[in-house]
Amino acid sequence: MDLKKLYYEAKSYIDIVDFSKLWRGFEPLKFALYTDNECFFDGAYIEKTDDFIGNTSILYNGEWIAIWLVQEEMNPIVLTSKIIHEMFHGFQSMHNDSRFANELDALYNYKYEEDNLNLKLKENHLLYHLSTQFDKDMFREFLQIRKYRFDTFRYAYHYEASIEQIEGNANFVEIQCLKQLSTELFEKKLSAMRERIINPSNLLPIRVICYDIGALMLYVMTENNIAFEDGFSSVTFAEAILSDVEGKKYVPEYSMKHLLDSYNANAKATICKAIEKNILVIDTPCNLLGVNVYNAVFYENYIISRYCVMFGSDKNPQIEYGDFVIETNAYRKITKIYRI
């Protein structure tokens, strides 16, 4: 993979994007492309540090930068939109956005309740239609269901809203970038997002689909001149839009029970298989410092983390790469880590 060539190809597209049309006050940041073996940053190859993990924004040499792990061939315009997505996370961090979720807390405390998920799936079907043809009554219904969930499943709604805020905003910026660079790619991604949110299996685990839900909500509001907070208040836009809404419980048309049972059964099977294989990374108590929260699963005091796990102490952190089952006996307290 020629990182230098890929870098300058992406940079040529970044240079023609009008960032002022993506989000108020947003400006391009420096970025790095890297693989397992090399890293190209700001026009030069550099030594990759341990800070380069996944696709995100990091504080590097005193400034926020975007980083992208190059693993496969990608359309350079799509890659550009992904890099700008990560730049936006740097923009959020630069402004000390307080609406980032406490991901480890959510792993332990977010409850996959059938009633909440059934109603969320109904919302998603409404959002699908709203993004194709707006209707005021349908939008009101969408908000009323959300307000009911906000009142009834407060912790779950707040967590979802936090992901819709941080990742949804960045995903919205990503599609707005595509809109400037390629109408075809913009329409393709918009269509894919619509289809994903109405696929019931995509609600498990909940975090990933919130990227698309948040972006589509912002798309609907932007296209229909519905005001939302685009600054850095302490309230998520998905909660702020409910301030004058009266909640109403609609009868859900869909049931998540079968998928929820299957989700839990698959988690249990993965955990049991890892314990049976008994390939231990550690078997002494220590602190859990981090997991790959993107699609982590919590089941009966076990956490399934794909790609990496961080553990030890703040003064002596350790990281292992791969897929793991983490046994805990209290919040952030590890007893064993099994390699899957």
Mean pLDDT computed over every residue of the chain: 96
Residue 88 and residue 121 in one domain: no
Residue 113 and residue 84 in one domain: no
CA distance 26 to 305: 33
Write out pLDDT tens, residues 109-147.
999 999 999 999 999 999 999 999 999 999 999 999 999
Q: Output the pTM of the full model.
A: 0.95
- Does the residue 72 lie in any domain? yes
Residue 219 and residue 274 in one domain: no
- Does the residue 249 lie in any domain? no
Could you give the angle at the alpha carbon of 267 between the alpha carbons of 284 and 164, nearest 5°?
100
Out of 210, 240, 270, a domain closes at: 240
Q: Are 111 and 206 in contact (CB under 8 A)?
A: no
Out of 240, 275, 310, a domain closes at: 240
Residue 195 and residue 114 in one domain: yes
Q: Are strands 39-41 and 333-339 parallel, antiparallel or unpaired?
A: unpaired
Q: Is the pLDDT of residue 314 over 90?
A: no
- Does the residue 288 lie in any domain? yes
Query: Per-residue confidence at 50, pLDDT binned at 50, 70, 90?
Result: confident
- Does the residue 55 lie in any domain? yes
CA distance 177 to 190: 12
Greatest alpha-carbon pair distance for the chain in Å reads 58
The number of folded domains in the chain is 3
Out of 211, 240, 269, a domain closes at: 240
Residue 312 and residue 203 in one domain: no
Q: Which range marks the domain in which residue 146 is found? A: 103-240
What value does the mean pLDDT take over residues 301-320? 94
pLDDT (0 to 100) of residue 190: 98
pLDDT (0 to 100) of residue 196: 98
Residue 134 and residue 111 in one domain: yes
Residue 83 and residue 121 in one domain: no
Q: Is the pLDDT of residue 1 over 90?
A: no
- Does the residue 247 lie in any domain? no
Residue 155 and residue 227 in one domain: yes
Q: Return the structure tokens found at 295.
A: 């699609």
Residue 89 and residue 107 in one domain: no
Residue 119 and residue 40 in one domain: no
- Does the residue 335 lie in any domain? yes
- Does the residue 248 lie in any domain? no
Residue 307 and residue 328 in one domain: yes
Query: Per-residue confidence at 66, pLDDT binned at 50, 70, 90?
Result: very high
Q: Is the pLDDT of residue 9 over 90?
A: yes
Q: Return the structure tokens found at 269.
A: 């099977």
Residue 134 and residue 10 in one domain: no
Query: Per-residue confidence at 229, pLDDT binned at 50, 70, 90?
Result: confident
- Does the residue 324 lie in any domain? yes
What value does the mean pLDDT take over residues 304-333? 95
- Identify the DSSP state of 251: P
